[in-house]
Chains A and B, each alone.
Chain A
Amino acid sequence: MTLPMNRRAALHWLGAAATASAWLPARLALAAPSHAQDPQGPRLVVVLLRGALDGLAAVPAQGDAAWSALRGDADASAAAAKGVPVPAALRLDGSFGLHPSLAHLHAWYGQNELLVVHAAASPYRERSHFDAQQLLESGGDKPFALNTGWLGRALQTAGQPAIALAAAMPLALRGADGASTWTPDRRQDADPDLMARVGQMYRDDPQLAAAFAQAMGQQDMTVGADGGAGFAGLAKQAGSFLADLKGPRVAWLEVGGWDTHTNQSSRLTRLLTGLDDGLGALREGLGAHWAHTTVLVMTEFGRSAAYNGTGGTDHGTAGVAFLAGGNVAGGKVLTDWPGLAKGQLLDGRDLKPTMDLRSVIAPVVQHQFALSTAQLQSVVLPGVGKPVLNFWRT
C-alpha cells in the first residue's frame, strides 16, 4: 500500500485529529458525546492520596473523651520538643477540627461546600498499601478480584472521556477506551511528520496505536500549559481540562508521600499544605465550573490511632475522605463515630470503620454518569448496596 508520507499530509492528519474530536477516540465521538451538549453538566475530580493519610491528624476528633490521651498531649509535647509550634486545629464543629494547613478546605466548609466523611474505609481489612490501593481503585470487594477500575468501568458504560494527570494510567481508570493521561511537556513538540509515521507504524499493534492516537488527540488542548509538574500545577491543569467545553468531564489526580511512619507532624504539615494549595488551584482552573463540580479526596486506609514509637503512625484501618464542590451540600462531618477508647478501636489499635467507602463512591458515580442502580451494582461496583447517600444540594 502507499502511505501519504509527505509533511503536508501528516499535518493534515494531525489537524483532523485535533479539530473534529480533540478528545474522543473515533468510536466514542461517533457514539454519543451527549455530555458535550450541556456545558453545565457535572464534573468529577477524584484525588487519591497514596500511602495512607492519617485521618485523625487531618480531621482531629477533639470532642472524643479519649482524644487528648491518644493524640492531644503527644502532639503538643512532640511539637514542643522540636521547637515547631503546631497551631491549633481549625474548628469544624464541637466534635471535630481540621488540620491547620487545610485553609482552603476550612473556608469551603464554612461556605457549606465541603463535606467531611470520617471513620470510613474500603472493604479491605489488612494493612498492605498495595492491596488496599488495588481494592480502592478496582472497586472490588477483595484485592485483585478485578483488573479494571470502578471509574474506568463507569466511563466506559457512560461513553465519557476522562483524563488522569499522571504518567501512567491509574488502575482506577483502566477499562475505559476514553481515558487518557497527561503530564506537562518539557521538550519541544516532536516532528509532526515523524509523529504521523509512528502512528502508521503502530497500525498492527492495537495497544500502542490506541494509546498513541489518544496522546496526539489531546496535544492541542494544552498548548501554553505552564502550571508545572507539582501537584498544584497538575491540579490547576485538571481544572482547565474540565473547564474546556470540548474537554473531558472527569479528571484523576494523585499525590503520594502519606506513609508517615516517622516525623509525622512536620511531614503532614508540608503534605497537607500541598494538598490544600492544589485543591485551591484546581478550583481556580475550574473557574465558574466549580459550581457543578464534585471533588472526591480519598486514601487507601487510615493509620494507627496511637502514635508509634518513632513520632509517626503505622498502617491502620478507617480514615477520612472529603467531598468538595460548589454543589456539594457541605458544612458538616458525616460519620457514625465509633469512638477512640481502647475497647472501641479495631484490634485495639485502629479507628473502627463504620462506613464503607464504596457507599460514598457509589452516589458520586451515579450523580456524575446518570447510571442506573443495576449498572452500578453489576458493572461499576459489583455487589455494592443501593446508594442511599445524597451529597448534593439539588
Chain B
Amino acid sequence: MQAATIASHRFGYTETSLRAVQPDPRGWVLDQFRQPAAMDASGLLDSVAAMQLTREVLKGALQAKPDADGKKPQDAPGPATPSRLELRKTNLKGLQRRWQHIVATPTPVAERWVQFWANHFCVAATKGSMLALVWPHEYEAIRPNAFTDFKTLLRAAVLHPAMLLYLDNAQSIGPDSLGGQRRKKGLNENLARELLELHTLGVNAGYTQEDVTQTARLLTGWTVGPQTGGKVAFVPVIHEPGSKTILGKRYAEGPQALDQLLGDLSVHPACARFVATKLVRHFVTDEPPAVLVDAVALRFRESGGDMQALARALFGHDLAWSPHHSPKFKRPEDLVLSAHRMLKMPVAFVEQTVRTLQDMGQAVGRAPSPQGWPDRTEDWLSPDALLKRVQWADHFGSANSDAADARALSRLAWGEDLSDTTLKHIERAESSAQALALALASPEFQRR
C-alpha cells in the first residue's frame, strides 16, 4: 500500500484524488498541523445563549400537559413551541456547519485531530440541560485549543458550561460550605471520577475512591447557571472549605487548586500513556503497537503535552505508516462524511443523515456515556450495522449516480491500492448507481 493511500484514508477523511498527497504524504499530513483550517463559527449560538434557549425549552416542556398515560417524557417531541423549533434549528445549524467543515476542509487530518479530542472530552445531549450545548462545547472549548497543549485543552474542556452540566459539577456543593449548610446539599462526584478516569489518568492509574471524593470536594464552587450569568464561575460560598489531598498531594482551599490539580494530572506519567494509547488506537490500529505508544508517550512528557510535538511524534513515526496493521473499521459518521468528501458533496439532508447514522449505531451528539464513542472494530461491526451500511451505500449510490463515475473515482482515490475483487465488482456493475454503491460498500471504503 502506498503512503499516499494511508495518509488519505487512514489519517484523513478520504481525498477525492491522491494526486496532491502523493509527492510527500508525510509532509501533507504534518503541514496541516502548522496551519489547521478554522471552522467558520460565525452566527452560531454561544453557550450563554444556548443555555438560555434550553431553559425556555425546558420550561415549555414542564408546562406541557402530561399525555394520556400521565407521562411527560423529556425526549418526546413535545408541543412545537417557538423555542423548541429554535432549538432544533440551532442544533441543525451547528451540525451542518461542522459537517460542511469536515467535508471541505483543506486540512482533513488536523480535523480528525479535533474530532479525536472532542470525543476524548465527550459531552452529550442525553439530558435536558445539554440539549443545545454539544456543538458549542466543540467550537468554543475544543477547536480553539486542540493545537495548543494538553493542559490548556483540558482546562478549556472541563471548565466549559457543557462539561460542568453534563457531569453534574454545576450542582455539586461543598457540604461544609456556607451554601451547603444552608441548603442541605452536597457533593456529586461524577465529574471528579471522569476527570481522573476518562480525561487524564485512565482507570488503572492507582487512584482510590478517597482520591475521587477529594477531587469532588476540590471541584466544588466551579459552576454555571443563570446565577453566574451563564458563564463558568468559581462561587466561593459553595466551595468546600479546607485543604484536599489527592494522590498524596495537598491542595489548599480556593479556586487556584483546580489549576494546580489539572497541571499535576497533565504531567502524571499515566496521563501521557493513557492519551498516547488512545491516539495510536484511533489513528493507526485497534491494538496499538507498544513501540509507537512509548514514543508518543515519551514526547508527551518531554514536551509538556505540546500538541504539535504529539502530532509529529505520531505521524512522523514509521510505524504509523506501516501497511501491515489491521485496518480500522470506520465509525459511521466518518464513513458517511468520507463519502461526501470523496464526492465533494455537502451534506444536504442533515436530519436524514442523523437518522441514518443512528441506524448504524452512532446517534451523533448523543454518545451513550461520557466515555465517548468506542474505537475498535468489534464496537461497530455487527451483522445489523453492516447491513445498514450497505443499505446506505445503495441509497447513496442511487441518489448520486450522476455525481461521479465510480470507476474513475476509485482509481483516483486509491490509485493502485484497490483489490482486484473490489475493482472487478465496480467495473461489472449494472449501472453507475450500483457501481458507486459497490465502491462505498467495498472493504476498502468501509475500513481505513
Contact = CB atoms under 8 A, between A and B. Distances in A.
Interface in A212-261: 212, 214-216, 218-219, 256-257, 259, 261
Contact of B425 (A167, A197, A207): A197
B109 interface: no
A308 interface: yes
B241 interface: no
B188 A201 contact: no
Number of chain A interface residues as a range: 35 or more
A134 to B, nearest CB: 10
Contact of A215 (B185, B197, B212, B383): B383
A219 B388 CA distance: 12
A158 interface: no
Contacts of A257: 126
B314 to A, nearest CB: 24
Given A197-B438, A310-B171, A202 B384 contact: no
Nearest to B210: A347
Contact of B443 (A131, A191, A208): A208
Interface in B387-442: 387-388, 390-391, 393-395, 419, 421-422, 425, 428-430, 434, 437-438, 441-442
A211 B382 contact: yes
Given A127-B209, A168-B382, A309 B188 contact: yes
Given A127-B209, A201-B421, A261 B188 contact: yes
Contacts of A259: 190, 369
B383 A309 contact: no
A256 B359 contact: no
Given A198-B441, A211-B382, A309-B185, A256 B369 contact: yes
Nearest to B69: A273
Contact of B428 (A5, A204, A347): A5
A126 interface: yes
Nearest to B368: A256
A159 interface: no
Contacts of B391: 185, 187, 189-190
* Chain B contact surface mostly: helix
Interface stretch (A31-39, A40-48, A174-182, A376-384): A174-182
Interface string B152-192: 00000000000000001001110100001000011111100
B386 A314 contact: no
A280 interface: no
Contacts of A189: 391
Contact of A310 (B172, B209, B369, B422): B172
Given A174-B378, A180-B383, A181-B385, A201 B171 contact: no
Contacts of A203: 421
B387 A212 contact: yes
A194 B171 contact: no
Contacts of A207: 377, 381
A256 B363 CA distance: 14
Interface string A303-314: 000001110101
B186 A310 contact: yes
Nearest to A182: B384
Contacts of A167: 359-361, 382, 384-385, 388
